[in-house]
A and B are shown apart, each in its own frame.
Chain A
Amino acid sequence: MITVYHYMAVSAILFSLGTFGVLTRKNAIVIFMCIELMLNSVNLTFIALSRHLGSMDGQVFVFFIMTVAAAEAAVGLALMISFYRNRESIDVDDINLLKW
C-alpha cells in the first residue's frame, strides 16, 4: 500500500538534492533548475497531502505555485540574458558586486 509518507519521502529527497544543487553549482541556469526541482518536490507534497486529506485546496495551491514558477522563469531568464550581455558569463562566482 502506497501511503502519503512514501510520496513525502520522495519529496524530501528531491528537495535536499535541489538544496545541494543550489549551493554547489556555479552555473546560474543550473541553479535556477535546481530551484525548480525544489519547487516541484513541494508540489508533490502538496498534492499527496491534498489527496490524503480529501481536499482540493492543496491542488489549487500547486496551480498557483506553477504560475509563480512560470513568472519566475520568465523574469529570471531575462535577468540572466541581461547579465550575460554585460559580463559574457552567467557564472555566479562572477557576480560579487553585492558587497560592502
Chain B
Amino acid sequence: MYDKLWLIPFFPLVGSIINGLLGKKIKNEKVIGGISTVAIALSFVVSCKYFFQLLGDTDKTHESIVASWMSVGSLQVDWGFLLDPLSALMIMVVTGVGSLIHLYSIGYMHGEEGFYRFFSYLNLFCFSMLMLVLGNNALVMFVGWEGVGLCSYLLIGYYFEKKSAGDAAKKAFVVNRIGDFGFLLGLFLLFWTLGSKGVWTIQFTEIAANAHLLESGGVIVTIITLCFFLGACGKSAQIPLFTWLPDAMEGPTPVSALIHAATMVTAGVYMIGRMCGLFAMAPTTMMVVATVGAATALFAATIGLAQNDIKRVLAYSTVSQLGYMFLAMGVGAFSAGIFHLMTHAFFKACLFLGSGSVIHGMHHGYHHAHLHDDPQDMRNMGGLRKKMPITFITFLVSTIAISGIPLFSGFFSKDEILWWSFGSNRGHWSLWLLGAIAAGMTAFYMFRLVFMTFYGEQRTDARAKDHIPESPLTITIPLMVLGVLAVIGGYVGVPAILGGANHIHHYFEPVFGEAIKLNNISAHGSHATEYALMAISVGIAVFGIFLAWTMYVKNPALPGQFVAKFTGLHRVIFNKWYVDEIYDALFVNPTKRLGTFLWRGIDVRVVDGIVNGVGKLVNVGSMLLRYTQTGYVHNYAFMMVVGMLFIVGFYILR
C-alpha cells in the first residue's frame, strides 16, 4: 500500500544527478529545466496519491522500510519512510510549492551562467527536504537536515563570484552548524536516556511510544528538548540564530522563495511537531519556545519596518512569521503552527516570487538602459501596478493574506495562533500582546512594500522606466496558482466559532492529539473573548495598513519627517539593531583571534616545530650515522667481529 514512498524523494535525486552530471553537456535550458521540473512534478503526483490514500485510510501512521542502514548492538537504523498526516502535508507543500518554483525558475534564471547547476542544486534540495520530512528515524531526518543545509549553502552562494554571496553562504552554513550541534546533542541525550531505560531506538514512532519513560517535566527531557530547539532555531532563523536568513537573500529569488521562505526554514517547526510528545512533556522548554517565537516575531518585524531592499523586507517578514510558528508550537497549538506553516508557504512563496518578478522586470529595464542601479531597491520602484498587472494582483492578495485580513488564508492560521497564545494553559496574555503588535507591524511593512513598489509615482530612472515588462508565463503561472492558494488555503482551518469545521485540527489529531491530551494542553475562553481578540488583531492589522497608506500613498513626505524626528531609533532599526555587529564583537572576532592564535602560536610554533624538529633530528642522526657506512670491507668485518664477541661474550659471562 505505502511501500512506494521512496519514489517521492527518488525523482528529484535522479533529476539532480542527471543535471549535475550531464547538464553541462545538455546546454539546452528548456531540457534542463524540464527534467528538473518533471522530476519534482512526478514527486508531487506520487505525493498526491499517497496524501489522498492517507485521507481515506483509517490507520493514519504508515512506515515503509527500504533498506537497512546499520545495525549496531540492539540499535537498528533503516532507510525508512514515515507517512502520517504531518509528513503527508509537508510533502504536499514541498513538492507542490517546489514544482511551481521549479517552473518559475525556468523563466527567472533564463540566460544565467550555470543554469544546470542551479537546477541540480534545486532538485537536490527537494530530495533532502523530502528525506527530512519523510524519514522515519532521527538519523534519516538528520541526513535530510544536513542535506538542506548544504543545498542552502550552495544556492546562497550561487553567484559565488560576488564576495557578499560567498560570505552569506558561509554565514548561513556556520550559523546552521551551531543549530545542528544542538540537534545532535539532543539526539544523543535522548538516545542514551531512552537506552538506559532499555529502549535503544531513534525511530520516531518508538520514541513517541516510549516517551512516557522519561520523567514528565523533568530536567532530562527539558535539556533534550532545549537542545532540539537550538537545532530548530538554527534552521528556522529564530533569535539568537536568525542573522543568516536576511543575508541569505543573496541567492537567486526562487531560492529565497523555496528554501528561505516556504520549506527549509520551516524544518525546525516540523521537527518540533515531530517531537511534540517530548516537547509537550517539558513545559519549561515550551515556555522558552513560545517566548523566543514571540520575541522573534516582534523583533524581526521592527527591523522589517525600515528596510529598503525588497527581498530583505520579505526576509525579515519570514523570520517574523517563523516566530509565529514557534509561538504556536510553544503554546501547544501544534496543528495551528503547522497550519500557519502551510499558509505561510503559499503566500510567502507568492510574495518572493512576485518580488522576483519585479526584480526581473527592473533588471530588464536597467539592462535595456545600460544602467547598473540596484534592481532590488524599493526607492527606485513605484507605480509598477500598471506595468505588471498580474504580479501586482497576486502580490497584493498575498500581502493581504500575510496581514491577516479576514477571508484570506493568513487570517485563519494567524488568528488561531493568537487565540491559543492567549487562551492556552501554556500561553499568556503577554505572548498574545507581542504577537498582536507584530501582526500590526507586519501589516504596516508589507503594505509599505506594496505601496512603495506598485503605487505612486514611478521613481525609476527615466531611461529605464518605459522598458519594464510583465514577466513571461513561466513566471506568472506559478504566481497565479500561489495567489489562489494564498486566498483559499486557509479554508481548511476555519475555526468553529466562525462556523467552520476546523478540518486541519482534526486532520492532525492522530499526530498531536495524544501529546496534547496526555499533558493536558487546552485553550479555554468564552466565545466573546475569542471574538474580541479576533476583532482586536484585525483592527491592529487594518490600522497598520491605514498607517502605511497614509505615509506612503497619501502623504509621501511623511516618512522623511518621521525619520528626521526619530533619527536615532530609525538608525538602530535600519541597521538591524546592530545584531550582526554585536555578534561580530562578541563571538566572531574573538573566535577569529583564537583561530589566529592557534594558527600562529600553536600550529606554526608548536605543532610544526615538533614535526620539523623530528624531521631535523632524523636528518642530523642520519648525517652522523652515514659515516658508519664507509664502504670498506674491513670496517664491516670489524663490526661483525665485535658483534660476534658480544654475543659469545654474553653467553660466556651470563
Q: Do chains A and B touch in the complex (CB under 8 A)?
A: yes
Binding site for B on A (CB under 8 A): 19, 22-24, 31, 92-93, 95-100
A23–B630 contact, CB under 8 A?
no
B631 touches A99 (CB 8 A): yes
**Contact (A100, B629) CB under 8 Å given A19-B641, A23-B641:** yes
> Number of residue pairs across A and B with beta carbons under 8 Å?
31
Bound together, the chains give a CA A99 to CA B631 distance in angstroms of 4
Name 15 extra pairs, CB < 8 A, besides A22-B634, A92-B633, A96-B631: A19-B641, A22-B637, A22-B641, A23-B634, A23-B637, A92-B632, A92-B634, A95-B631, A95-B633, A96-B630, A98-B632, A99-B629, A99-B630, A100-B626, A100-B631
Q: With the chains together, A22 CA to B634 CA distance in Å?
A: 7
Residues of B within 8 A of A95 (CB): 631-633
Complex interface: chain A residues within 8 A of B566 (CB)? none
CB distance from B634 to the nearest CB of A (A): 6
Q: Flag if A98 contacts B633 (CB, 8 Å).
A: yes
B632 and A93 within 8 A (CB): yes
Hey, which chain A residues are within 8 Å of B629, CB to CB? 99-100
Interface pairs (16), CB distance under 8 Å? A22-B634, A22-B641, A23-B638, A24-B634, A31-B634, A92-B632, A92-B633, A95-B632, A96-B630, A96-B631, A96-B632, A98-B632, A99-B631, A100-B626, A100-B629, A100-B631
Nearest residue (CB) in B for A96 is: B631
Interface mask (B628-649 → A, CB under 8 Å = 1, otherwise 0): 0111111011100100000000
A13 to chain B, nearest CB (A): 16
- Which residue in chain B gives the minimum CB-CB distance to A24? B634
A79 to chain B, nearest CB (A): 12
> Interface extent on B, as a size class?
10 to 19
B556–chain A nearest beta-carbon distance, Å: 89
Which residue of B is nearest A35, CB measured?
B637
Question: Least Cβ distance of A42 to chain B in Å?
Answer: 13
Q: Which of B600-641 contact A (CB under 8 A)?
A: 626, 629-634, 636-638, 641
Separation of A97 and B632 alpha carbons in the complex (Å)? 8
The list of the 10 closest CB pairs from A to B, nearest first, reads A99-B631, A96-B631, A98-B631, A99-B629, A92-B633, A96-B632, A23-B638, A22-B637, A92-B634, A99-B630
Max count, chain A CB within 10 A of own CB: residue among B626, B633, B636:
B633
Minimum Cβ distance to chain B for residue A80 (Å): 12
List residues of chain A with CB within 8 A of the CB of B638.
Answer: 23
Bound CA span A95–B636, Å: 12
* Contact present for A97 and B631 (CB under 8 Å): yes
How far does the alpha carbon of A99 sit from the alpha carbon of B626 in the complex, in Å?
Answer: 9
Report how far A23 CA is from B641 CA in the complex, Å. 9
With A and B bound together, what is the CA distance between A92 and B637 in angstroms?
Answer: 12
Interface residues of B (CB under 8 A from A): 626, 629-634, 636-638, 641
User: Interface on chain B toward A: helix, strand, loop, or mixed SS?
Assistant: helix
Which residues of chain A have C-beta atoms less than 8 A from B637's C-beta? 22-23
In the assembled complex, which residues on chain B have CB atoms less than 8 Å from the CB atom of A24?
634
Inter-chain contacts of B633 with A (CB < 8 A):
92, 95, 98
**Which residues of A sit under 8 angstroms from B626, Cβ to Cβ?**
100
In the complex, what residue of chain A is closest to B644 when comparing beta carbons?
A: A19
Q: Which residue of B lies closest to A97 (CB)?
A: B631
Minimum Cβ distance to chain B for residue A23 (Å) = 6
B613 to chain A, nearest CB (A): 25
Q: Which residue of B lies closest to A19 (CB)?
A: B641
B626, B631, B634, B638 — most chain A CB neighbours (10 Å): B634
The CA of A22 and the CA of B644, in the complex, are separated in Å by 14
Assembled-state Cα–Cα distance A26/B630 (Å): 15
State the CA gap A22–B633 with chains docked (Å): 10
A95, A97, A98, A100 pick with most chain B CB within 10 angstroms: A98
Whole-angstrom distance between the Cβ of B633 and the nearest chain A Cβ: 5
A13 to B259, CA, bound (A): 95
Q: Give complex CA distance A98, B633 in Å.
A: 8
Report B-chain residues with C-beta under 8 Å of the C-beta of A100.
Answer: 626, 629, 631
Residues from chain A with Cβ under 8 Å of B630 in the complex: 96, 99
Shortest CB-to-CB span from A9 to chain B, Å, is: 16
List A contacts of B634 (CB < 8 A). Answer: 22-24, 31, 92
Q: How far is the CA of A64 from the CA of B389 in the complex (A)?
A: 113
Alpha-carbon gap, A98 to B631, bound state (A): 4
Chain B nearest Cβ from A88, distance in angstroms: 18
Bound together, the chains give a CA A45 to CA B626 distance in angstroms of 40
A99 / chain B contacts, CB cutoff of 8 Å: 629-631
Chain B residues near A97 (CB-CB < 8 A)? 631
Question: Which residues on B sit within 8 Å (CB–CB) of A92?
Answer: 632-634
A76-B477 Cα distance, complex, nearest whole Å: 98
A23: which B residues are within 8 A, CB to CB?
634, 637-638, 641
A100 to B637: give the CA distance in the assembly, Å. 17
- Bound together, the chains give a CA A22 to CA B626 distance in angstroms of 24
Smallest CB separation, A45 vs chain B (Å)? 14
> Which residue of A is nearest B645, CB measured?
A19
What CA separation (Å) do A79 and B632 show in the bound complex?
16
Min distance, Cβ B652 to any Cβ of chain A, angstroms: 13
A100 to B633, alpha carbons, bound, how many Å?
14
Q: How far is the CB of A40 from chain B (nearest CB, A)?
A: 18
A23–B626 Cα distance when bound, in Å, is 21
> In the assembly, what is the distance between CA of A20 and CA of B631, in Å?
20
Residues on A with beta carbons closer than 8 Å to the beta carbon of B636: 98
The closest CB in chain A to the CB of B641 belongs to A19
Minimum CB–CB distance from B631 to chain A (whole Å) comes to: 3
Measured CA separation A92–B632 after assembly (Å): 7
Interface centre among B629, B632, B638, B641 (most CB of A within 10 A): B632
Write the chain B residue with the least CB distance to A94: B632
Nearest Cβ in chain A — how far from B91, in angstroms? 71
Q: Roughly how many angstroms separate A23 CA and B638 CA in the complex, as a whole number? A: 6
Taking the closest CB of chain A, its distance from the CB of B642, in whole angstroms, is 10
A89 to chain B, nearest CB (A): 13
Name the residue of chain A whose CB is nearest to the CB of B630: A99
Q: How far is the CB of A8 from chain B (nearest CB, A)?
A: 15
Q: How far apart are B552's CB and chain A's nearest CB, in angstroms?
A: 87
Q: Give min CB distance, B422 to chain A, whole Å.
A: 89
Q: How far is the CB of A86 from chain B (nearest CB, A)?
A: 16
Which residues does chain B contribute within 8 Å of A98, judged by CB atoms?
A: 631-633, 636
